[in-house]
Amino acid sequence: MPAILRSLRSLLLCAMVVIAPAHAQDAPEMHAVQVSPHAWYVQGESASGTRANRNFISNAGFVVTKAGVVVIDALGSPAMARELLATIRTITPQPVKLVILTHHHADHIYGAQVFRQAGATIVAHALGRDYLGSETARLRLKASIDDGLTEPGTQVVGADTWLAGSASFDLGGTRFEAMVVGPAHTVEDLAVWFPDEGVLFSGDLVFRGRVPWVGDADSQRWIDSLDRLLALPAKVIVPGHGPHSSAPRADLQLTREYLAYLRQAMGQAARELTPFEEAYAATDWSRFEALPLFRQANRMNAYNTYLLIEQEK
């Protein structure tokens, strides 16, 4: 599929997920959850982005070192980022020195400008640079502002440090590894490994307790990347969405098995030239249909996987 059509399809499908109906309720309360002596995260709601939840639908992590704070992902609006910064300040007076973006989906990056204004260095994978300058990014931001998911004045900011590959960082004697794990969920996926305390910030390679958003993902490489993460001696995983896991292998496997099932069911249909609607209706989704966002995301995930495997043939 030509790149421009893939971009437009991605924008349309992403917009459909964002505006999908959700229960009317107040935004989830933000509070820091400690997962190791020096690592915390805040957990967004397992829902589509709405005005009511202020697009607080993803997680952000942070690690406190002797020389400052490392933040993983910047949340879905400047307002949410300011709240995250205030939450960090209830834990430590140390300044935020480094913000590592795991990928450039809107719910993870629209708060980045707040951290830059606070003096932090923004780090991301260089493959995200093409997206930030694209018409897709401009339209996505406009739609998010128009829908009230982020405030007027929100900017999509580029990184200060663009990574061409995996890299290690040392802050105050604490080591972090920004691991290239894409193309998978996106072309520019990073996971952040904090080996001293066995904490893995997986970004959206792991969705815990809800159906993943597959979009234009490379599902086979996503599975391969999950296998790489399974080899790490992680004690705790902080996923891109959902609660943290102290049983990393089991929770990595759920995302992996969902992706594998999509590929099995839709792959067989694509190879046999079975029309998508017929194949979708004939597939047994019972193992996953009770998960949050199944209704909003699963059909699109299946359709994208069907198209992907058609191209792989």
Give the pLDDT score at 311: 86
Residue 229 burial by Cβ neighbours in a 10 Å radius (0-12, 13-18, 19+): buried
* Cα-based distances in Å from 129 to 134, 201, 229: 9, 22, 25
Give the pLDDT score at 53: 87
Give the pLDDT score at 47: 85
Q: What is the CATH number of the domain that holds 175?
A: 3.60.15.10
In 3D space, the residue among 201, 214, 221, 309 whose CA is nearest the CA of residue 258 turns out to be 214
Determine the structural domain holding residue 219 and report its residue range.
Answer: 3-246
284 assigned to some structural domain = no
Give the pLDDT score at 51: 87
As for how many domains the chain has, the answer is 1
In 3D space, the residue among 280, 312, 279 whose CA is nearest the CA of residue 298 turns out to be 280
C-alpha span between 28 and 149 (Å, rounded): 14
CB 207 within 8 A of CB 242: yes
CB 165 within 8 A of CB 202: no
Give the pLDDT score at 165: 97
What count of residues does the chain have? Answer: 313
- Pairing state between β 236-241 and 199-207: parallel
Residue in this structure with the two tokens 């933000």, named with its chain if needed = 30
311 assigned to some structural domain = no
Contact residues for 218 (Cβ-Cβ < 8 A; gap 6+): 182, 183, 184, 187, 308
Residues 257, 76, 7, 209: what is their CA dihedral angle, to the nearest 10 degrees? 10
Give the pLDDT score at 17: 40
287 assigned to some structural domain = no
Give the pLDDT score at 172: 94
pLDDT in tens, the chain (313 residues): 444 434 434 443 443 343 333 333 456 789 999 999 999 999 999 888 888 888 899 999 999 999 999 999 999 999 999 999 999 999 999 999 999 999 999 999 999 999 999 999 999 999 999 988 899 999 999 999 999 999 999 999 999 999 999 999 999 999 999 999 999 999 999 999 999 999 999 999 999 988 899 978 999 999 999 999 999 999 999 999 999 998 888 878 889 999 999 999 999 999 999 999 999 999 999 999 999 889 989 999 999 999 999 888 6
110 assigned to some structural domain = yes
Give the pLDDT score at 27: 62
Tokens of 182: 């894409």
Give the pLDDT score at 248: 82
Give the pLDDT score at 22: 35
Angle 294-312/248-271 helices, nearest 10 degrees? Answer: 60
182 assigned to some structural domain = yes
C-alpha span between 300 and 35 (Å, rounded): 33
127 assigned to some structural domain = yes
C-alpha span between 112 and 141 (Å, rounded): 13
52 assigned to some structural domain = yes
25 assigned to some structural domain = yes
